[in-house]
């Protein structure tokens, strides 16, 4: 019940116009310096995601001056269907692989919020199976592409409630925000609204990414 309330609150917040940012329309990238690939949360409105994607992309644009950034909104349902995260996993990997082949000098920043964090986790080889709105891994970024992923920015990551985290080659390039009491990422957490407050971490996420690009 607590999880459903949290997801419902997320949907309602979008309708209330939580945040207003001026960001470019998310499109498949041309050969920019850095492609910011964003997997939004369950039912999250906005261009890249009103709570995380849009404010993080805006913060990255302000922080990474002199770099040409593009954005891509992972194409997946972001709903409660059993295959939603898996569809996002496949689309993210397909997009990055395609961009990597077409743009040899392009680097990537991966951003995932809530269910979108599951999508990113799976794509870098950390299974979200068993987590809230998670899924088994259906695709992973190949080893040849991994060094071109400059940073991984995760928010309200459901695998953390299982006691898991990003390990392996991406660990040093990952920052994983979990607000105190957030029931989606904190086992036993009881503050539903904590899951909706990650806009406040956009600047810190951009600061972290800037140390990795």
Mind telling me the catalytic residues? 114, 182, 195
Tokens of 211: 């140390």
Tokens of 213: 């690009």
Cross-strand partners of 38:
73, 111
155, 114 contact by CB (below 8 A)? yes
For 52-95, give the secondary structure using H, E and C.
CHHHHHHHHHHHCCCCCEEEEECCCCCCCCCCHHHHHHHHHHHH
Determine whether 145 is exposed, middle or buried from the number of CB atoms within 10 Å of its CB (0-12, 13-18, 19+).
middle
d(C-alpha 20, C-alpha 18), whole Å = 7
CA atoms within 13 A on the CB side of 102: 13
31, 106 contact by CB (below 8 A)? yes
């Amino acid at each position: 019940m607590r999880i459903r309330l949290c997801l419902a609150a997320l949907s309602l917040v979008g309708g209330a116009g939580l945040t207003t940012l001026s960001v470019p329309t998310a499109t498949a990238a041309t050969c920019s310096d850095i492609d910011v690939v964003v997997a939004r949360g369950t039912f999250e409105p906005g261009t890249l995601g009103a709570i995380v994607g849009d404010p993080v992309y805006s913060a990255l644009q302000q922080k990474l001056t002199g770099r040409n950034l593009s954005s891509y909104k992972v194409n997946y349902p972001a709903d409660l269907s059993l295959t939603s995260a898996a569809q996002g996993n496949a689309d993210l990997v397909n997009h990055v692989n395609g961009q990597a082949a077409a743009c040899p000098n392009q680097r990537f920043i991966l951003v995932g919020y809530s269910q979108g964090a599951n999508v990113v986790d799976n794509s870098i080889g950390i299974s979200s199976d068993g987590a809230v709105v998670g899924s088994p891994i259906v695709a992973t970024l190949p080893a040849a592409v991994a060094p071109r992923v400059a940073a991984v920015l995760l928010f309200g990551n459901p695998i953390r409630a299982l006691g898991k985290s990003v390990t392996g080659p991406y660990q040093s390039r990952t920052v994983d925000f979990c607000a105190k009491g957030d029931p989606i990422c904190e086992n036993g957490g009881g503050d539903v609204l904590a899951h909706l407050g990650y806009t406040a971490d956009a600047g810190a996420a951009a600061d972290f990414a800037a140390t990795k690009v």
